[in-house]
Amino acid sequence: MNTRGYAVLKEGAPLEPYSFNRRELRANDVAFDITHAGICHSDIHTARSEWGSPLLPLVPGHEIVGIVTAVGPETTKFAIGDRIGVGVFVDSCGNCENCLKGLQNYCAEGMTGTYNGLERDGVTPALGGYSNKFVINENYAVKIPANLDLAAVAPLLCAGITLYSPLRHWNVKPGMKVGIIGLGGLGHMGVKLAAAMGANVTVFSHSQSKEADAKAFGAHNFVLTKDENFFEPHKESFDLILNTVSAEIDINSYLHLLKTDGTLVVIGLPGKPYAVNVFNLLRLRRSIAGSMIGGMPELQEMLDFCGEHSIVSEVEVIKADYINEAYERTIASDVRYRFVIDASTF
Ligand code: NAP
Ligand code: ZN
């Protein structure tokens, strides 16, 4: 299936137009026309070799939505014309303890990423969503609620689930105090989702200009982290803090903010190890944890939750030829709050 997209063709080079073929439909596959693909900071870390050398050609994109155009003979979930979404992985072993529990993101053999790796046949490169067509086994795709705008839904496929999953895992409930560090693509979804779950939400941001937006998204408090000793007034008061920052920050300051049995969940992946002062963990039995996207059942649950609460991402829709500029603006924290590519422009 002839497909047009954008790719990194040479390590360190900007993205450029690239045409390639996707597989013909297998029995359990569906094909779809991509309408929109979000730009996640992980795309940038990968394209810029911040997590090691990428597999080239690299077609990034793992926040993918579109309209089904063809279905394989053994599919049961989708019909032509349905709204469909694909996130950060396109396959997994399907048999391990985690896959059987619906935690395909933690597949024992490793999930098959939507890009920057090989499919499970070990030879076909996985090419992502910065493109106009996609083919996927229907078990790794989700349905998009009818009331949500497709462009604004795209970021839910990574940013949305990545914040929804830890909020659910740590049982966020009305009255709990939740902190979100970084009001970017992930962070702004975290604010909307945690507020919808009834939490008291505080945003920790290094951008003063985002205060009004944070409050409009449902945050109760906004803390500017550029202020020295910003944490003093908030000490020992949080149940859960989610760190979505794409750069290195001093997480020890944030440990002071957790109350007894509180947890700091690391989600942002700048790529270097963190230095942790363990005295801050021992005191008040605090935890540091990590969380990576979510499994297929939870991905659908999150979209249905967003449908019920009319939650979508704040997006700036761009044309394909703006991708490299959008990368620069994302790195400069100058995006309100997710760039989404109009796939008709590939
Ligand atoms: P993003 O839109 O660029 O947002 C990151 C935010 O971090 C910025 O908006 C900014 O918020 C803050 N920030 C950036 N540079 C900073 C600095 N130097 N100092 C302090 N704060 C800074 O990125 P994203 O797409 O949300 O992704 C965030 C991170 O999560 C990336 O590292 C990405 O790879 C990772 N990620 C992880 C998972 C997972 O499963 N765990 C999934 C997807 C992405 P303020 O302006 O409010 O300070
Ligand atoms: Zn992502």
The ligand 1 atom nearest the CA atom of 267: 41
SS (H, E, C) 141-192: CEECCCCCCHHHHHHHHCHHHHHHHHHHHCCCCCCCEEEEECCCHHHHHHHH
- Preceding omega of 270 cis (within 30 degrees of 0): no
> Ligand 2 centroid vs 141 CA: distance in angstroms?
16
Residue with tokens 């290195």: 248
pLDDT in tens, 49-74: 999 999 999 999 999 999 999 999 99
| Average pLDDT, integer, range 20-49 | 97
> For domain 2-157+314-345, which architecture applies?
Alpha-Beta Complex (3.90)
| Average pLDDT, integer, range 142-150 | 98
CA distance 60 to 47: 8
Question: Looking at the domain 160-290, which fold is it?
Answer: Rossmann fold (3.40.50)
Dihedral Cα 297, 305, 164, 335, nearest 10 deg: 120
Confidence grade of residue 228 (pLDDT, cut at 50, 70, 90): confident
Q: Quick check: pTM over 0.95? A: yes
Confidence grade of residue 311 (pLDDT, cut at 50, 70, 90): very high
Q: Are 158 and 88 in contact (CB under 8 A)?
A: yes
* CB of residue 266 inside a 6 A radius of ligand 1: no
> Ligand 1 centroid vs 245 CA: distance in angstroms?
4
* CB of residue 188 inside a 6 A radius of ligand 1: no
> Ligand 1 centroid vs 227 CA: distance in angstroms?
19
Ordered by start, the domain boundaries in the chain are: 2-157+314-345, 160-290
